[in-house]
Amino acid sequence: MAAVAPAPPPPPPVPSARSGVAVTLVFTARATELSDAAKAELDRLAKDLADRTLRQVELRSVAENGDPDSRKISLARALIVRNYLIDKGVRSRIEIASIVGDGGERVEILVPGT
């Protein structure tokens, strides 16, 4: 019987261009409006992004709780943040992920290279 060679180790993971969380906006339970602090943070980020040429920015919006409105709340937050950034002049493509899960009510903004 012939010996079977062990399988080669898997290749190392390829770093994601979306690896850096530039900003995390925390929301109170069920809220969809931006606080003044969130707006200030988005203003700072929009100014930073205006100075860079980026093809894409990603928003990951998370709402806790498994009720039917959680996904709607998560999506509403992502759209509000997206629209705010567009109004502030961000020209990059903005991808949205709406998630129902654990770990807090938030929107993470991922920017390549951060």
Residue partners of 11: CB distance under 8 A and separation at least 6: none
Higher pLDDT, 105 or 6: 105
Higher pLDDT, 50 or 86: 86
Share of the chain above pLDDT 90, in %: 56
What was the pLDDT predicted at 110? 95
| Tens-place pLDDT, residues 37-81 | 999 999 999 998 887 778 899 999 999 987 889 999 999 999 999
What was the pLDDT predicted at 51? 77
**CA–CA separation, 60 and 38 (whole Å):** 15
Taking the domain 21-110, which CATH number applies?
Answer: 3.30.1330.60
Are 82 and 59 a contacting pair, CB within 8 Å? yes
From 99, 34, 33, select the one nearest 70 (Cα to Cα).
99
Are 17 and 93 a contacting pair, CB within 8 Å? no
Are 7 and 95 a contacting pair, CB within 8 Å? no
Is the entire prediction scored with pTM above 0.85?
A: no
Residue partners of 13: CB distance under 8 A and separation at least 6: none
Higher pLDDT, 113 or 1: 113
